[in-house]
């Protein structure tokens, strides 16, 4: 190890003359010349290898351009192991990959075979600064303290500290802007928003994703000419009657207002809290639920958001009544108040109390009584 720190030119028994900086050979390691060092034929061969790899790389670049121009983007080819794949993607990826791989391989081959491979030592300074420099720095600090009068001017010192302490406050205050109030969240604090959802008493439950995928106009040939009916049109979502859901059935559902709110807010925050699933079991299979009479003839509504870290769950097993989260295998028993039966979730799945309105459609009776989604500080 001393070899690395001894100053340049100290023979230390090596007996070699002082070499150019960065070129001092390590005398103790026996150097074995390569074939390319001793045999000029081998050196020529290595040179040809490297040059032909660079040439091949150029060829692949040309092939890339040809493939880009010539191959139809939609054409599909069968390649063993890979199956049916897009011809253009595979050709472009292969030629560009080979072009860059060959440049790299040629460079390594060049370095390994033809560049000098003699072991050398690079001399370095000690990490510690010289004593003189550290003393000078210390003296500078003391002089600065003296000349600035930081100790003498008590008022200045204290007001400076006060200003420094207060300065970060604007940065903290601005964090509030991470939450943008909309007409739907007006008057609610961020803390309220964490524990409330769009559901209110009497809010109709509609099936998610059931907007009619119809187009407003078609010409005589059946070609679509008009705009598609917007998925945000809340009227297009289907309300649910209890008889629509058979025993063993499952419906992914949202509040009637959600599409409108989602559109106005331009994000999925409301959906991330309000999404529910409706399941139906025989009423005598329900062992317990979170409130008396929160079901409608065996139809139960539970949050779709896992209480562990908030994955949406709808892996419902209709015979075991288990709801499994695919992210970390938390399992909830929907026949037993949504209690956790397996996995890392710490809290049961919140249940939404539901009823039927005068037109016979399922509605929420109120918002969730427990905050939905993953835990936060105020919620154990």
Give contact residues for other proteins (rule: CB under 8 A): 34-36, 76, 81-86, 89-90, 93, 108, 112-113, 117, 207-210, 213, 240-241, 243-252, 279, 312-320, 322, 324, 326, 329, 331, 342
**By C-beta, is 27 or 252 nearer to other proteins?**
252
Nearest approach, Cβ of residue 262 and other proteins (Å): 14
DSSP state of 24: E
Whole-number Å distance between alpha carbons of 179 and 299? 35
Q: How many CB atoms within 10 Å of residue 126?
A: 7
Nearest approach, Cβ of residue 314 and other proteins (Å): 4
**By C-beta, is 185 or 273 nearer to other proteins?**
273
Nearest approach, Cβ of residue 165 and other proteins (Å): 46
Whole-number Å distance between alpha carbons of 161 and 157? 6
Tokens at residue 42, please?
């081998």
Residue 209 contacts residue 233 (beta carbons within 8 Å) = no
**By C-beta, is 162 or 248 nearer to other proteins?**
248
Give the chain's radius of gyration (CA, Å). Answer: 37
**By C-beta, is 185 or 204 nearer to other proteins?**
204
Nearest approach, Cβ of residue 264 and other proteins (Å): 21
Tokens at residue 251, please?
């419906």
324 forms beta bridges with: 315, 331
Q: How many residues does the chain have?
A: 380
Instruction: Name which of 56, 136, 120 is nearest 94 in CA terms.
Output: 56
DSSP 211-238: ----BS-B-TTS-B-SPBPPTT-GGGSP
Nearest approach, Cβ of residue 26 and other proteins (Å): 15
Instruction: Name which of 208, 220, 182, 210 is nearest 304 in CA terms.
Output: 208
**By C-beta, is 9 or 326 nearer to other proteins?**
326
Instruction: Name which of 240, 232, 197 is nearest 212 in CA terms.
Output: 232
**By C-beta, is 62 or 315 nearer to other proteins?**
315
Nearest approach, Cβ of residue 330 and other proteins (Å): 11
Whole-number Å distance between alpha carbons of 72 and 355? 57
Residue 97 contacts residue 104 (beta carbons within 8 Å) = no
Tokens at residue 22, please?
């960065």
Nearest approach, Cβ of residue 99 and other proteins (Å): 17
Tokens 């253009």 belong to residue: 88
Q: What phi and psi, each to the nearest 5 degrees, are found at residue 342?
A: -165, 150
**By C-beta, is 314 or 352 nearer to other proteins?**
314
**By C-beta, is 157 or 322 nearer to other proteins?**
322
Nearest approach, Cβ of residue 368 and other proteins (Å): 21
Whole-number Å distance between alpha carbons of 288 and 294? 10
**By C-beta, is 231 or 374 nearer to other proteins?**
231
Nearest approach, Cβ of residue 87 and other proteins (Å): 9
Whole-number Å distance between alpha carbons of 158 and 162? 6
Helix (H, G, I), strand (E, B) or coil at 336: strand
């Amino acid at each position: 190890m001393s070899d690395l720190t001894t100053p340049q030119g100290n023979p230390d028994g090596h007996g070699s003359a002082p070499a150019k900086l960065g070129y001092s050979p390590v005398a103790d390691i026996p150097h074995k010349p390569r074939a390319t060092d001793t045999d000029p034929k081998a050196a020529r061969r290595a040179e040809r290898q490297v040059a032909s790899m660079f040439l091949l790389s150029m060829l692949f670049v040309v092939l890339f351009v040809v493939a880009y121009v010539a191959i139809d983007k939609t054409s599909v080819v069968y390649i063993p192991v890979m199956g049916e794949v897009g011809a253009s993607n595979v050709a472009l990826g292969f030629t560009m990959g080979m072009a860059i791989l060959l440049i790299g391989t040629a460079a390594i081959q060049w370095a390994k075979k033809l560049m000098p491979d003699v072991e050398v030592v690079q001399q370095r300074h000690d990490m510690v600064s010289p004593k003189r420099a550290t003393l000078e720095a210390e003296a500078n600090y003391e002089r600065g303290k003296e000349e600035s009068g930081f100790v003498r001017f008590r008022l200045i010192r204290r007001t400076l500290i006060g200003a420094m302490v207060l300065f970060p406050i604007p940065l903290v205050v601005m964090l509030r802007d991470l939450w943008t109030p909309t007409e739907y969240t007006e008057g609610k604090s961020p803390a309220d928003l964490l524990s409330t959802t769009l559901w209110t008493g009497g809010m109709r439950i509609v099936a998610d994703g059931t907007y009619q995928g119809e187009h407003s106009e078609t010409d005589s040939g059946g070609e679509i000419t008009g705009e598609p009916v917007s998925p945000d049109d809340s009227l297009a979502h289907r309300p649910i009657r209890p008889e629509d859901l058979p025993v063993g059935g499952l419906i992914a559902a949202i509040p009637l207002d959600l599409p409108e709110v989602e559109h106005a807010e331009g994000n999925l925050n409301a959906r991330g809290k309000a999404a529910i699933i409706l399941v139906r079991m025989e009423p005598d299979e329900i062992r317990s639920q979170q409130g008396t009479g929160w079901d409608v003839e065996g139809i139960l509504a539970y949050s779709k958001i896992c209480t562990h870290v908030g994955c949406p769950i709808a892996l419902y097993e209709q015979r075991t009544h288990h709801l499994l989260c695919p992210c970390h295998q938390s399992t909830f028993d929907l026949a037993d108040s949504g209690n956790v039966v397996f996995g890392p979730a710490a809290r049961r799945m919140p249940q939404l109390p539901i009823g039927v309105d005068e037109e016979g459609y399922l509605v929420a009776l109120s918002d969730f009584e427990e905050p939905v989604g993953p835990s936060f500080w105020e919620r154990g």
